[in-house]
C-alpha cells in the first residue's frame, strides 16, 4: 500500500532537484480561479477592442458638452447658461478631457511609443472617474441652487455621459507599459520645456483658485486638480518629472521664483488674494525653519510658534508705534537681525536643558514652552511684570515699513498694473523665503545636514560614530528659531498689530502638519503643505464648522496611504517602505547611472 508521502512528485533527471512538496499551509485560502482574480481584471469587457473607441467617444462628448449650456439659471457657479462660451468650471473639464485624449492616443494611436513608458490605462481610468465625480457634484450644485435637476441643461448631461464613457473605457483598457519612467532618456530642451509648462500651469491654476468667488467653484477646482494629479501620478508621469527636476535643479529653482515673482501681476490689484498669498509666505517661511528641527534633526517641537512670536514682538517694540515700549528705533534691517538673534537665543536657552530628553518628553516640554511664552507676553503689562508688551492688549498701530522712501503701505503702478500694500509685503517676504530656502538647502547638503539625518535615524548609533549629538541638536533648535524670528519681524508690520492670542498651540500644530503633510526634509513639500493648510481654510469658509474635521480626515488618509508626504525625498520613501525592494533597486540603479554619466 502506498502512503501519502509516496505520492510526492519527484524528478529523476540528474542534476535537477525534486520540487518541494506542497504543504496544506502553503495553499491559498481559496481555490477558485475566479476568486483569485483581482476585481479590476474581472470587469466586464476587460481587454475588449471597443474600449479604446469608447474612450474617444467619451472625450468627444465631455469636451463637446462644455460648449453647451449646463444650467438654465445664470447665477450658479459663475454663469453656466451661455452656449459656446465655457467658463472656468467648464474649462477644467476641457483640460481633463484633453489629457485623457493624450493618454488614449498613447495607449493606441500616433503616440503609442509614449504608452511604453506610461500606464495609460490607469491614467484614463482615474481621469474618467475624476471627471465623473466632478460632473456629479456640479449637477448637484445646480440642482440645489436652482430648484431641481430640471434646470440642468443638455450640455451638463452630455458632459456627464462623456465622463462616464471615459471611466468605463479606463476600466476596460489593459496596460501595456513595458518600460520604467525612471530610466527615460530625453533631451535637455524637452525637459526644460516640460518644467516651464508645469510651472506656468501652477501659476494659472493658483490664479484661478484664488479668483473663484464661491466655495462651490473652489471645491470643484480641488476635485479637478486632485483627479489630474492622481491620474498623471498613476501613469508614472511624476516619476519622470522628479527625475528631470533632479537633473535641472537650477532651472527649476529659477523658474519657481519667476512664477512666484509674477504671481502678483496676475491678481489685478486684488488685496484679498494678495493678503492670502502673503499669509501663505509667512506660514511657509516659518514652516521651513521648523523643517530643520523636525524634518532633518527629527526633534518633535510643539511650541515652535513661540519663536515666530518672539521675532514679531521684537519688530513691534522697536517700531514707531505709539504703543511701542522701547525707545530705540533702529533701521528695519537691524531689527530683522535683532529679532532673529533674539529668537535664536531663546532656542538656545530652551534647548540646552530640554534637549537632554527625547521623544514624547521633548514634545511635552516644547509644548509647555509655547504656552509659557504666550502667558509671559500677556503678563508683561507693567502690573504683573515689566511694561514691555502691553499685556493682553498687545502692540497695535504698527506703522508701515519704509525702505529708502518706498512706502510699503501705498499702492504703486508697475507696467500699468497696480501693486497694493499686500503685494509690497509679498515681494519682501519672497526675498526672505529665498534666503531661508538657500540656508536650508546648504545645511541639508552639508556635513551638518548629514549629521542631523544620522541623529534622526538612530541617535545612539550616530553618537557611537563620533557625531556631536547634543551640539547638532542645539544648533538645529537655534537655527530653526533664527529663521522663524526673521519671518516674525515682517509679520508684525504686515499684521499691523501683535498680541499673545496670535501664537496659540493650534498654530504650532498647523506648522507641524504642513511639514508632515508636504514631506519632511524637502523644500517643495513644505511649500506645498503650507499653501494647502493656509489656502483651504480661507476658501472653504462656507463649511466653517467642518473645516477641522476635514483637515483631520485628510491627515489620517495621508498617514495611511502616503506617510512620507506629498513630495518626499528618496530617503524618506525607503524609510516608510522598507519592504519595497523593487523601489530600492530602481533608486540604486538611477544613482549608479548618474555617477557613470558624471564620470
Residue 563 lies in a domain: no
Confidence band for 306, pLDDT divided at 50, 70 and 90: very high
Residues 440, 338: one domain? yes
Q: Is the pLDDT of residue 32 over 60?
A: no
Residue-number span of the structural domain to which 157 is assigned: 42-259
Residue range 409-429: mean pLDDT, rounded: 85
Q: What is the 3-state secondary structure (H, E, C) of 506-562?
A: HHHHHHHHHHHHHCCCCHHHHHHHHHHHHHHHHHCHHHHHHHHHHHHHHHHHHHHHC
Residues 384, 364: one domain? yes
DSSP string, 369-385: HHHHHHHHHHH-BSSSS
Q: Is the pLDDT of residue 53 over 90?
A: yes
pLDDT at 592: 65
Residue 306 lies in a domain: yes
pLDDT in tens, 138-162: 999 999 988 889 999 999 999 999 9
pLDDT at 573: 61
Residue 554 lies in a domain: no
pLDDT at 227: 95
Residues 314, 253: one domain? no
Q: Is the pLDDT of residue 212 over 80?
A: yes
Residues 274, 320: one domain? yes
Residue 372 lies in a domain: yes
Residues 462, 393: one domain? yes
The answer to whether residues 369 and 354 touch, using CB atoms and an 8 Å cutoff, is: yes
How far apart, in Å, are the Cα atoms of 369 and each of 12, 309, 315, 526, 568? 76, 12, 21, 24, 30
Confidence band for 6, pLDDT divided at 50, 70 and 90: very low
Domain final position from 259, 283, 311: 259
Residue 1 lies in a domain: no
Residue 564 lies in a domain: no
Domain final position from 495, 511, 527: 511
The answer to whether residues 456 and 463 touch, using CB atoms and an 8 Å cutoff, is: no
Residue 416 lies in a domain: yes
Identity of the highest mean pLDDT range in 81-85, 129-133, 190-194, 489-493: 129-133
Q: Is the pLDDT of residue 72 over 60?
A: yes
Q: Bigger pLDDT: 313 or 573?
A: 313
Which conformational region is residue 7 in: left (phi greater than 0), alpha (psi within -120 to 50 degrees), or beta? alpha
pLDDT at 468: 86
The answer to whether residues 95 and 180 touch, using CB atoms and an 8 Å cutoff, is: no
Residues 169, 301: one domain? no
Residue range 71-79: mean pLDDT, rounded: 88
Residues 77, 158: one domain? yes
Residues of the chain above pLDDT 90, percent: 30
Domain final position from 235, 259, 283: 259
Which conformational region is residue 47 in: left (phi greater than 0), alpha (psi within -120 to 50 degrees), or beta? left
pLDDT at 33: 40
Confidence band for 598, pLDDT divided at 50, 70 and 90: low
Mean pLDDT over each residue of the chain, to the nearest integer: 83
Q: Is the pLDDT of residue 482 over 90?
A: yes
Residues 165, 232: one domain? yes
Q: Scan for cell 497695535, then name that residue.
A: 396
Q: Bigger pLDDT: 520 or 415?
A: 520
Residues 67, 157: one domain? yes
Of 141-150, 189-198, 239-248, 541-550, where does mean pLDDT reach its minimum? 541-550
Q: Bigger pLDDT: 441 or 6?
A: 441
Residues 440, 350: one domain? yes
Residues 321, 247: one domain? no
Q: What are phi and psi of 3, to 5 degrees?
A: -85, 175
Confidence band for 574, pLDDT divided at 50, 70 and 90: low
Q: Is the pLDDT of residue 12 over 50?
A: no
Counting the structural domains of the chain, the total is 2
Q: Is the pLDDT of residue 16 over 80?
A: no
Confidence band for 344, pLDDT divided at 50, 70 and 90: very high
Residue 5 lies in a domain: no
Residues 367, 448: one domain? yes
Amino acid at each position: 500500500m502506498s502512503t501519502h508521502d509516496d505520492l510526492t512528485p519527484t524528478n529523476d533527471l540528474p542534476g535537477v532537484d525534486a520540487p518541494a512538496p506542497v504543504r496544506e499551509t502553503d495553499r491559498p485560502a481559496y481555490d477558485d480561479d475566479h476568486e483569485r482574480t483581482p476585481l479590476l481584471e474581472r470587469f466586464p469587457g476587460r481587454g475588449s477592442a471597443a474600449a479604446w473607441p469608447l474612450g474617444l467617444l467619451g472625450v468627444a462628448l465631455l469636451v463637446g458638452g462644455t460648449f453647451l449650456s449646463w444650467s438654465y439659471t445664470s447665477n450658479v457657479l459663475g454663469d453656466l447658461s451661455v452656449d459656446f462660451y465655457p467658463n472656468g468650471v467648464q474649462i477644467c473639464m476641457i483640460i481633463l478631457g484633453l489629457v485623457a485624449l493624450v493618454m488614449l492616443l498613447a495607449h493606441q494611436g500616433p503616440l503609442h511609443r509614449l504608452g511604453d513608458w506610461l500606464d495609460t490605462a490607469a491614467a484614463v481610468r482615474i481621469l474618467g472617474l475624476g471627471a465623473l465625480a466632478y460632473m456629479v457634484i456640479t449637477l448637484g450644485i445646480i440642482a440645489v441652487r436652482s430648484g431641481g435637476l430640471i434646470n440642468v441643461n443638455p450640455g451638463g448631461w452630455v458632459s456627464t455621459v462623456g465622463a462616464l464613457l471615459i471611466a468605463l473605457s479606463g476600466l476596460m483598457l489593459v496596460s501595456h507599459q513595458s518600460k520604467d519612467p525612471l530610466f527615460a532618456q530625453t533631451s535637455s530642451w524637452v525637459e526644460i520645456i516640460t518644467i516651464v509648462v508645469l510651472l506656468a500651469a501652477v501659476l494659472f491654476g493658483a490664479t484661478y483658485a484664488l479668483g473663484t468667488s464661491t466655495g462651490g467653484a473652489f471645491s470643484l477646482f480641488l476635485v479637478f486638480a486632485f483627479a489630474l494629479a492622481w491620474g498623471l501620478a498613476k501613469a508614472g508621469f511624476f516619476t519622470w518629472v522628479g527625475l528631470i527636476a533632479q537633473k535641472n535643479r537650477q532651472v527649476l529653482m529659477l523658474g519657481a521664483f519667476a512664477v512666484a515673482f509674477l504671481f502678483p501681476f496676475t491678481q489685478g490689484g486684488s488685496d484679498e488674494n494678495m493678503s492670502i498669498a502673503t499669509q501663505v509666505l509667512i506660514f511657509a517661511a516659518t514652516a521651513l525653519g521648523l523643517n530643520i528641527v523636525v524634518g532633518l534633526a527629527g526633534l518633535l517641537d510643539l511650541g515652535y510658534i513661540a519663536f515666530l512670536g518672539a521675532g514679531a514682538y521684537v519688530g513691534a517694540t522697536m517700531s514707531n508705534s505709539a504703543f511701542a515700549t522701547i525707545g530705540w528705533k533702529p533701521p528695519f534691517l537691524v531689527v530683522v537681525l535683532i529679532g532673529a538673534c533674539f529668537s535664536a537665543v531663546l532656542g538656545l536657552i530652551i534647548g540646552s536643558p530640554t534637549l537632554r530628553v527625547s521623544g514624547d518628553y521633548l514634545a511635552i516640554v516644547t509644548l509647555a514652552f509655547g504656552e509659557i511664552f504666550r502667558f509671559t507676553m500677556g503678563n508683561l503689562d507693567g502690573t504683573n511684570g515689566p511694561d514691555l508688551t502691553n499685556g493682553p492688549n498687545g502692540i497695535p498701530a504698527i506703522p508701515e515699513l519704509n525702505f529708502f522712501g518706498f512706502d510699503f503701505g501705498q499702492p504703486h503702478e508697475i507696467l500699468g498694473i497696480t501693486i497694493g500694500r499686500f503685494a509690497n509685503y509679498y515681494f519682501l517676504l519672497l526675498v526672505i523665503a529665498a534666503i531661508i530656502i538657500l540656508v536650508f538647502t546648504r545645511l541639508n547638503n552639508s556635513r551638518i545636514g548629514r549629521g542631523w539625518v544620522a541623529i534622526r535615524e538612530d541617535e545612539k548609533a550616530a553618537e557611537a560614530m563620533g557625531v556631536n549629538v547634543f551640539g547638532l541638536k542645539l544648533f538645529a533648535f537655534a537655527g530653526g528659531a533664527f529663521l522663524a524670528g526673521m519671518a516674525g519681524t515682517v509679520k508684525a508690520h504686515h499684521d499691523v498689530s501683535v498680541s499673545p492670542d496670535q501664537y496659540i498651540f493650534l498654530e504650532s500644530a498647523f506648522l507641524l502638519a504642513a511639514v508632515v503633510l508636504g514631506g519632511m526634509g524637502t523644500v517643495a513639500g513644505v511649500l506645498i503643505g503650507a499653501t494647502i493648510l493656509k489656502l483651504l481654510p480661507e476658501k472653504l469658509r462656507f463649511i466653517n464648522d467642518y473645516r477641522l474635521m476635514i483637515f483631520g480626515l485628510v491627515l489620517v488618509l495621508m498617514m495611511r496611504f502616503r506617510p512620507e508626504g506629498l513630495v518626499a525625498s528618496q530617503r524618506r520613501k525607503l524609510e516608510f517602505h522598507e519592504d519595497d525592494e523593487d523601489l530600492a533597486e530602481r533608486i540604486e540603479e538611477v544613482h549608479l547611472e548618474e555617477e557613470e554619466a558624471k564620470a
